[in-house]
């Protein structure tokens, strides 16, 4: 898959595929491979089937999510509770990074969960690419997510992936705007709610 800037893909095409998922506020998903990382972070809130359900709530749920993207290689039964905890640590660590609080909670957990999720480098006439090197399925799946995230941090596209500050939201949206001014996952949902709360507070302060 080719990125925005015509950059090479991190992981060879065909290793996984990201379904096109609904986004709040009819935003476009992140371009190219980064859509995988975006969906991974947004797995805390199912917008498609069971509104609000955590898509990593159990080994079976995590297996379904990974399988849907071709990231599990048919090894759905192999996942353990520990694998779920690792996936959650990676998810919340990436959310903390995207929020820009690198010192925040989650990074120690992210690095611990990343241990063993190995990436190997391969070369071809079209350039280098990464392939997962771990032996067990969760190591391989997490390696792909982490490699794509790391690559996006290097090429800069990561910094358009923002976390909505809405109360109980935390949705990762991709800010396609020219001046990168996007703040909410959706102006109609979180932006509107924040505005209503501020309005209510102002009225209350004035009246009492």
Closest-CA residue to 140 (of 86, 205, 201, 195)? 86
Residue 6 CB, nearest approach to Zn ion (Å)? 31
Q: Report the residue from 62, 113, 148, 185 that binds Zn ion according to the rule CB under 5 A.
A: 185
36 binds Zn ion (CB under 5 A): no
x-or-dash pattern for Zn ion, window 140-169, by CB under 5 A? Answer: ------------------------x-x--x
Residue 88 CB, nearest approach to Zn ion (Å)? 20
Point out which span in 39-47, 84-92, 120-128, 189-197 binds Zn ion (CB under 5 A): 189-197
Cβ(185)–Cβ(171) below 8 Å: yes
Residue 154 CB, nearest approach to Zn ion (Å)? 27
**Residue 47 main-chain phi, psi, to 5 deg:** -95, -10
Q: CA angle at residue 106 from 101 to 112, to 5 degrees?
A: 135
Q: Residue-wise over 144-163: b if at least 16 C-beta within 10 A, else e?
A: bbbbbbbbbeeeebbebbbb
Q: Which residues bind Zn ion (CB under 5 A)?
A: 164, 166, 169, 171, 185, 190
């Amino acid at each position: 898959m080719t990125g925005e800037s015509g950059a090479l893909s991190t992981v060879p095409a065909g290793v996984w595929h990201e379904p096109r998922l609904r986004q709040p506020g009819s935003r476009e998903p992140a371009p190219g491979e980064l859509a995988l990382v975006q969906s991974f972070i947004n797995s805390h809130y199912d917008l498609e089937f069971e509104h609000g359900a955590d898509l990593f709530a159990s080994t079976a749920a995590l297996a379904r999510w990974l399988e849907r993207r071709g990231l599990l290689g048919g090894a759905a039964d192999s996942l353990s509770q520990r694998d779920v905890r690792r996936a959650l640590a990676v998810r919340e660590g990436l959310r903390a990074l995207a929020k820009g609080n690198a010192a925040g909670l989650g990074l120690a957990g992210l690095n611990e969960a990343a241990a063993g999720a190995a990436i190997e480098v391969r070369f071809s006439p079209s350039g280098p690419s990464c392939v997962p090197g771990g032996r067990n399925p969760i190591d391989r799946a997490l390696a792909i997510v982490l490699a794509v995230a790391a690559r996006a941090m290097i090429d800069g596209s990561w910094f358009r992936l923002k976390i909505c500050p809405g109360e109980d939201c935390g949705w990762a949206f991709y800010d396609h705007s020219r001046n990168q001014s996007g703040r909410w996952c959706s102006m109609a949902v979180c932006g509107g709610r924040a505005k209503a709360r501020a309005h209510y507070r102002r009225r209350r302060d004035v009246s009492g």
